[in-house]
Structure 1
Amino acid sequence: MRLHRIIPAAALVSSMILLGGCSTITNLIGGDQAVRDADTGQVTESGKADAFTIKVGDCFNDQSGEQISDVPAVPCTDPHDNEVYYDLTMPAGDYPGDSAVTDAAEKGCGDAFSTFVGVPYEESTLEFSYLFPTKDSWEGADDRLISCIVYDRSGKVTGSLAGAAR
């Protein structure tokens, strides 16, 4: 499983699940797998996407929990919470520890932020976070990938945040 530090709306999702029951869960994360265009690889129909298969350009919505195995992927043309804007791979070897992984994520995602968004992070109204390997996924699935995520704290966006310059 991959650990992530996103989910600014986790409390909202939890309350919706309590209020809406199982149908809300299906609507939030989709009962089916996301469909991708065969040529471009872009998500064309909403559904679950394995956390190990999301890639730069994918958009998805928040879900609760610290360890996730899949995300509710949506076409970026639909309202969404998050967009993957950069991937970096940790070097092979023994698991370096949580601090080393999150330090690499902070630096790598921070460095790539201004190139993607168009303004330095310190001047932006947007935020970033990341999906990163846990010790278990590092050792059990050879997971070294850190996926950088951009999001707007004020709510869902429609379209890509590439070049948003805000």
Structure 2
Amino acid sequence: MSLIRPLKNVRTAAAAGAVGAVLALSACGGVAEDLQETADEMEEQASAAEESGEVDADVFEVAVGDCLNDESVAEDQEVAEVPKVSCDEPHDSEVYAETEMEASEWPGDAGVDEEASAFCEQEFASFVGLEYAMSELQLSYYVPTEDSFASGDRAISCLIYDEAGQTTGSLAGAAR
């Protein structure tokens, strides 16, 4: 079972406290107004995430069957947490397969991508019911960085998503 920590609320409370301190000390109204707007936006985002049941999950703890709202995570961006949501809610992607890398020494970014791509494509058909090359659905993956690999991380997590937008429910057996 994944350890899920609702860190958005903790960050928002800390950020709001910091903004309040700056507001109290600031003699510049423009800066204070900008900071207050930023704090208000962060609070609104946290409230929306809380209402949707979204929580930040440790990327090392995501598991097959987890659904994520990770569209905002840029390709090649290092992440420690991902927004996890119930698969019954609209979501960006779903973890459909996992494995441990075979390499005992860092194979380089290209080697990691090659192993992840091969594994995720192989597992795609058994999950969706259609070969990846024939599917309208896409795949992606979370893989170790060189630093996390050096610390013992070997996990590859395969993700499936629809480029058309969020889905509700699992894509298992979607055959499209």
TM-score range, shorter chain: 0.7 to 0.9
Q: Percent identity?
A: 43
Within the candidate set 153, 156, 168, 1:158 is matched to: 168
2:61 aligned counterpart, secondary structure: coil
Paired residues in the alignment total: 134
Instruction: Name the structure 2 match of 1:58.
Output: 66
Which residue, out of 11, 22, 41, partners 1:21?
41
Q: What is the identity, as a one-letter code, of the residue corresponding to 1:47?
A: V
* Corresponding residue for residue 153 of structure 2: 143
Moved over 3 A (4+): none
> RMSD value over aligned CA atoms?
2.0
Displacement of 1:94 after TM fit? 1.7
Cα shift readout 1:101-124 (whole Å, capped 9, x = no counterpart) = 100011000011011001111111
Question: CA 1:24–1:137 in structure 2 vs 1: closer, same or farther (change >3 Å)?
Answer: farther
Q: Which residue of 2 is the match for residue 99 of structure 1?
A: 110
Partner of 1:121: 132
Gaps of 5+ in 2: 1-37
Give the whole-Å Cα distance in 2 for the aligned partners of 1:129 and 1:157.
Answer: 16
- The letter for the 2-side match of 1:152 is D
Larger Cα Rg: Structure 1 or Structure 2?
A: 2
Summarize deviations over 1:108-155 as a string: whole Å, max 9, x none: 000110110011111111000000000010112x10000000000000
- Once residues 161 and 44 of structure 2 are traced to their aligned partners in structure 1, the CA distance between those partners, rounded to angstroms, is 23
Instruction: Considering fraction of residues, name the structure with more helix.
Output: 2
Greater strand percent: which structure? Answer: 1
For 1:127 and 1:139, the matched residues in 2 are separated by 29
